[in-house]
């Protein structure tokens, strides 16, 4: 008997990284790796599930910068170029590994896999991956959520309410452009909630969002059903809470599934292991070693040299058994909860970074597929559903205001506000105030002035990505994050000065438009007065 709902939520996001000014740019690989290892495998998975008639529902957020990159012809072309090189490298690897059974088998596996990736990208999707996600949404198996326009962290932006509102409105319009309808749900960037943000969500027609566990547990009144029912905010949108138990089984570095010794090791990659005269054409042209995606070892031993060869068959068996274990635990959790909730059906909401599945945890997509098939056919207690399905079937819910919260370490804002990154906010807030000032002074701009105002809005939004503060804190590729913050703030500042001084330099504006192409549909009036 059905005991409750399980909402699997995959948050897919990458910052907008697109550098037409360079023939190759290393940080663009973030996107290419995620396409090959996560987005295409998820599309292929959903395609198989739909073809096999498996009943399921998944929720994903595809953030506006990710959508804009996936729909960008230049990045599509560069991804295709990289993919062709990978097919070629895997072919060479089949030659090189001849006589080493374990490695040779894997080289053939990679070769087939890259060919398949290319077939899906070129022939099945015709380079339009967003279109594939849209088809699943239109078929009712996928709910696509939007996100803040550039993944700005709302709790640290709230001093300028209009900046938060603009992040929401620009995201809604971008979603409409890509998916042909307005969004039902929003993934608050970094799960960052502050009391009051819901009024902007309501204005954008958003029906639901997700908060970290304590966001619901520490709500303004005691949540009768803990995180297992949503709270309806005073403005209307529903707040669902993240379940810790199911999160921990996947996320936890010690106890989580991805650390199993049968799974593929992320770090040991032929891009680092093989001599330069061989691997040279497939790493960065300056000789900088990078991940190629061809990895032959499994997670064994602390030192690289100790790692044992990867066995795909073992890994698949383990993924199936982990999926069975995950389902078993959800069934037990569901039975326990429906007892504690006196008959009201619980919803367990389990959000993860989408890129965890496939990119970091190579077998993640197979785990998901096993889990979805088992849930559909092996039991009837747990039902896969989206938050919208829950709301449609359970329209009456408690009303309260969640507590400020995020899913970063510590649960609040300290990951994005500490010694390494606090300096950005002085500039971000000043730029946001200036953008509002411009929107107030020029409510009906046309022509070059309107273009300059729209570009200023793009630069501000790009500077606001929480990714830059995040990178400054984690300590890898920090100079890139600092540079992006500085570049966008400075471009914004020049545009602001030119607009106010009535001396717009069209050449400068054109260059900015050529570089920072995000949101062609943008309307700077999103920064106008609050309603």
Partner 1 sequence: MTPQTLNKMTVKALRDLARELSIKGYSGMRKAELVDAICARQREPDRDTRAATGGMPPRVETSAPSSASTGPPRHAPRLSDLGDLPTQYGRTCATLMVQKPEYLYAYWEIREEDLAAARASMGRVDARLVMRAHNVSAGVHTDIEVHAPVGDWFFKTDWSGGRVKVEIGLKGPDGRFIVLAVSNEVELPSARASDRVDPEWAIQEEQFEAIYALSGGFNPGDSAQLQRVMREGWGPSSGDWRR
Nearer CB in complex with partner 1: 137/413 = 413
List, as one string, the DSSP characters of 61-97: EE-HHHHHHHT-HHHHHHHHHHHHHHHHHHHHHHHHT
479 binds partner 1 (CB under 8 A): yes
CB of 342 to partner 1, least distance (A): 9
Question: How many residues belong to the site for partner 1 (CB under 8 A)?
Answer: 104
441 binds partner 1 (CB under 8 A): no
Asked if residue 44 lies in contact with residue 119, where contact means CB atoms within 8 angstroms, the answer is no
What CA–CA distance (Å, rounded) separates 286 from 278?
15
Per-residue binder mask for partner 1 (CB under 8 A), 286-305, x = binder: x-x-----------------
What CA–CA distance (Å, rounded) separates 129 from 151?
21
Half-sphere exposure (Cβ direction) of 161: Cα atoms closer than 13 Å: 12
408 binds partner 1 (CB under 8 A): yes
CB of 3 to partner 1, least distance (A): 14
Classified as helix, coil or strand, 312 is helix
Q: Which residue is it, tokens 């200023």?
A: 456
Strand pairing class (4-12; 185-187): unpaired
Catalytic residue among 203, 353, 437, 487: 353
What CA–CA distance (Å, rounded) separates 114 from 108?
10
Among 302, 426, 446, 503, the residue binding partner 1 under the rule CB under 8 A is 426
Nearer CB in complex with partner 1: 228/524 = 228
Q: Report 33-92 residues binding partner 1 (CB under 8 A).
A: none
What CA–CA distance (Å, rounded) separates 314 from 36?
22
Classified as helix, coil or strand, 309 is strand
Asked if residue 87 lies in contact with residue 115, where contact means CB atoms within 8 angstroms, the answer is yes
251 binds partner 1 (CB under 8 A): yes
Asked if residue 460 lies in contact with residue 495, where contact means CB atoms within 8 angstroms, the answer is no
Q: Report 332-361 residues binding partner 1 (CB under 8 A).
A: 336-337, 340-341, 353, 355-356, 360
Q: Which residue is it, tokens 């099945």?
A: 124
CB of 493 to partner 1, least distance (A): 7
Strand-pairing partners, residue 297, are 309
Among 164, 210, 424, 435, the residue binding partner 1 under the rule CB under 8 A is 424
156 binds partner 1 (CB under 8 A): yes
CB atoms within 10 A of CB 213: 20
For residue 240 the two structure tokens come to 């669902």
Among 218, 289, 335, 374, the residue binding partner 1 under the rule CB under 8 A is 218
Nearest to 462 by CA among 417, 408, 410, 518: 518
Nearer CB in complex with partner 1: 57/485 = 485
List, as one string, the DSSP characters of 295-307: --BBS-SSSGGGP
CB of 485 to partner 1, least distance (A): 7
Among 97, 220, 321, 379, the residue binding partner 1 under the rule CB under 8 A is 220
CB of 59 to partner 1, least distance (A): 17
228 binds partner 1 (CB under 8 A): yes
For residue 81 the two structure tokens come to 């170029």
Nearer CB in complex with partner 1: 23/447 = 23
Q: Which stretch binds partner 1 (CB under 8 A): 79-87, 151-159, 270-278, 297-305?
A: 151-159
Among 515, 517, 523, 528, the residue binding partner 1 under the rule CB under 8 A is 515
- Cα separation values, 410 from 247, 416, 514, Å: 16, 11, 40
CB atoms within 10 A of CB 77: 11
Q: Report 157-186 residues binding partner 1 (CB under 8 A).
A: 159
Among 57, 59, 386, 413, the residue binding partner 1 under the rule CB under 8 A is 413
Among 81, 181, 222, 441, the residue binding partner 1 under the rule CB under 8 A is 222
Among 91, 182, 195, 324, the residue binding partner 1 under the rule CB under 8 A is 195
Q: Which stretch binds partner 1 (CB under 8 A): 51-59, 71-79, 132-140, 482-490?
A: 482-490
Instruction: Verify whether residue 190 is a known catalytic residue.
Output: yes
Active site positions, annotated = 190, 353
């Amino acid at each position: 008997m059905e005991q409750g709902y399980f909402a699997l939520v995959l948050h897919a996001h990458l910052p907008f990284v697109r550098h037409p000014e360079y023939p190759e740019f290393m940080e663009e690989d973030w996107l290419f790796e995620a396409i090959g290892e996560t987005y295409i495998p998820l599309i292929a998975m959903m395609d198989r599930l739909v073809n096999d008639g498996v009943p399921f529902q998944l929720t994903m957020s595809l953030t506006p910068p990710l959508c804009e990159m996936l729909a960008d012809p230049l990045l599509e072309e560069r991804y295709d170029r990289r993919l062709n090189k990978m097919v070629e490298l895997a072919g060479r690897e089949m030659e090189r590994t001849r006589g080493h059974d374990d490695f040779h088998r894997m080289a053939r596996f990679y070769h087939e896999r890259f060919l398949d990736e290319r077939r899906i990208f070129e022939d099945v999707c015709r380079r339009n991956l967003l279109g594939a996600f849209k088809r699943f949404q239109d078929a009712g198996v996928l709910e696509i959520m939007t996100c803040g326009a550039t993944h700005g962290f709302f709790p640290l932006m709230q001093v300028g309410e209009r900046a938060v509102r603009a992040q929401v409105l620009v995201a809604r319009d971008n979603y409409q452009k890509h998916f042909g309808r307005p969004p039902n749900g929003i993934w608050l960037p970094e799960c960052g909630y502050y009391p009051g943000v819901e009024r902007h969500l309501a204005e954008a027609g958003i029906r639901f969002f997700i908060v970290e566990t304590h966001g619901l547990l520490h709500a303004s009144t005691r949540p009768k059903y803990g995180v297992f029912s949503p709270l309806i905010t005073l403005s209307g949108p529903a707040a669902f809470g993240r379940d810790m138990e199911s999160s921990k089984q996947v996320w936890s570095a010690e106890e989580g599934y991805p650390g199993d010794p049968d799974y593929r090791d992320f770090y040991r990659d032929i891009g680092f292991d093989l001599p330069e005269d061989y691997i040279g054409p497939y790493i960065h042209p300056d000789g900088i070693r990078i991940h190629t995606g061809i990895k032959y070892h499994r997670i064994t031993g602390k030192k690289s040299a100790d790692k044992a060869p990867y066995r795909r068959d073992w890994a698949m068996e383990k993924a199936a058994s982990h999926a069975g274990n995950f389902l078993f635990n959800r069934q037990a959790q569901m039975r326990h909860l429906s007892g504690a909730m006196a008959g009201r059906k619980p919803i367990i909401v389990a959000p993860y970074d989408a890129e965890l599945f496939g990119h970091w945890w190579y077998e993640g997509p197979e785990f998901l597929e096993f889990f979805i098939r088992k849930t559909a056919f092996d039991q009837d207690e747990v039902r896969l559903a989206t938050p919208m399905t829950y709301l449609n079937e359970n329209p009456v819910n408690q009303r309260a205001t969640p507590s400020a919260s995020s899913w970063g370490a510590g649960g609040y804002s300290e990951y994005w506000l500490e010694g390494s990154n606090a300096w950005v906010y002085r500039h971000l807030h000043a730029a946001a105030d200036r953008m509002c000032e411009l929107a107030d002074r020029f409510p009906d701009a046309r022509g070059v002035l309107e273009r300059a105002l729209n570009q200023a809005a793009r630069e501000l939004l790009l500077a606001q990505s929480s990714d830059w503060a995040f990178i400054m804190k984690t300590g890898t590729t920090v100079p890139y994050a600092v540079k992006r913050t500085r570049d966008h703030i400075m471009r914004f500042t020049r545009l602001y000065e030119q607009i106010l001084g009535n001396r717009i330099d069209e050449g400068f504006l054109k260059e900015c438009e050529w570089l920072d192409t995000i949101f062609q549909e943008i309307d700077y009036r999103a920064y106008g007065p609050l309603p």
